């Protein structure tokens, strides 16, 4: 288990929490200026959380959709996966996009996304004139399927 120092930027902020002992992502909760907000079809609303955190060096915080909110209301992060770098100390915010055909609402305290902490490798890019060949080679976009 990794300890993540956090700071409440508002007394009403809810600390991210895991739904079960085996959850990969911790739920992130909305902190709205009023009780609820409506998001029209095709619109994005930037949801505040009132939480800032100190992600350990060598890790990133990756913000994913909550499957229930995405399938039941059509609400998911506008950037698909948010990436929070370890040197960011500002408020965690989630741009929720309404991909459904009708206006949807979210309420203060509602679980709006989930954050997963993962290690990453820093790459050093080196230019070359050729790359090693593979069986797949340049095949992409479904090229590995057999049917």
Distance CA(2)–CA(73), nearest Å, equals: 32
Predicted TM-score (pTM) of the model is 0.89
Pairing relationship of beta strands 104-107 and 36-39 according to DSSP bridges: antiparallel
At 145, the pLDDT band (50, 70, 90 cuts) reads low
Instruction: Kindly write down the DSSP assignment for every residue of 29-55, as one continuous string.
Output: E---SSSEEEE-TT-EEEEEEEEEE-P
List of domains in the chain: 6-119 (2.70.40.10)
Residue 147 has pLDDT above 60, yes or no: no
Each residue of 53-105: pLDDT tens digit? 999 999 999 999 999 999 999 999 999 999 999 999 999 999 999 999 999 99
Q: State what percent of residues in the chain have pLDDT above 70.
A: 96
Distance CA(37)–CA(39), nearest Å, equals: 7
Question: What's the confidence (pLDDT) of residue 143?
Answer: 67
Distance CA(40)–CA(104), nearest Å, equals: 6
Range 21-41 average pLDDT = 97
At 36, the pLDDT band (50, 70, 90 cuts) reads very high
117 vs 147 pLDDT, higher one = 117
Question: What's the confidence (pLDDT) of residue 146?
Answer: 62
């Amino acid at each position: 288990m990794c300890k993540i120092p956090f700071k409440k930027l508002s007394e009403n902020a809810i600390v991210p929490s895991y739904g079960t002992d085996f959850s990969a992502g911790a739920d992130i909760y909305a902190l709205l200026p009023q009780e609820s907000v409506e998001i029209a079809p095709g619109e994005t609303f930037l949801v505040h959380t009132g939480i800032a955190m100190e992600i350990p060096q060598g890790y990133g915080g990756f913000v994913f959709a909550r499957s229930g909110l995405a399938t039941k209301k059509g609400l998911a992060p506008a950037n698909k996966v948010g990436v929070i770098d370890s040197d960011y100390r500002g408020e965690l915010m989630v741009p929720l996009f309404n991909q459904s055909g009708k206006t949807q609402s979210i309420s203060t305290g509602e679980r709006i996304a989930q954050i997963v902490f993962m290690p990453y490798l820093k790459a050093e890019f080196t230019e070359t004139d050729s790359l090693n060949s593979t069986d797949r080679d340049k095949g992409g976009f479904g090229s590995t399927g057999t049917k």
